[in-house]
Amino acid sequence: MSMINENATVASMIATPATVALSRFLDIDLARYKLVAMNLANIDTPGYRTRDLDFRAELRRASEQVSGLEGSQLVSTTFEPVARRVGGLMERPDGNNVSVERESLLLAETQMKFNLGVQLLKDQFHIISLAINSGGGTTS
């Protein structure tokens, strides 16, 4: 078996719908983390407007994209969450509407979601590892 075929086989065993969905979950969470960090970094920038993403809508969009994929496509597709400006926040006289309290809360929430996603992904890899190591044999 060639190295390319072996890599494709390993990739297809690892790129299950569950691992791809969890990967997308982590991608969205990481995108949100970056937005929160950018908001905090611009807290003193006059006229800066808070940006965020709709986590649930992005997760739904990613899920729809994953459900339409099969086989090797699971590995090769990319997903880009869409950021938007956040309205309804109190604006300071300099036009900036970043709230330290809001961003700190989102930062903590994002970190917890990321930790959860990583743990679930670890669990999926453990299940895959068990399947590989069992060798398809049955126990009595």
Are 28 and 59 contacting, i.e. CB atoms less than 8 angstroms apart?
Answer: yes
Answer yes or no: is 12 within a domain.
yes
Alpha carbons 134 and 54: distance in angstroms, whole number: 41
pTM of the model: 0.75
- Examine residue 139 and state whether it is found in any structural domain, yes or no: no
The amino acid present at 66, given as its one-letter code, is: V
Domain that holds residue 114: 3-134
Q: Is the pLDDT of residue 5 over 70?
A: no
- Which DSSP letter does residue 138 get? -
Q: Indicate whether 140 belongs to any domain.
A: no
Listed residue (21, 7, 115, 9) closest to 77, CA to CA: 21
Q: What is the pLDDT, as a whole number, of residue 127?
A: 87
How many domains does the chain fold into? Answer: 1
Segment 40-54 shows an average pLDDT of 96
Strand partners, 84: 52
In a domain, 97, yes or no: yes
Q: Does residue 121 sit within a domain?
A: yes
Tokens in use for 132? 């590989």
pLDDT tens digits, 110-131 = 999 999 999 999 999 898 888 8
What pLDDT score does 8 carry? 47
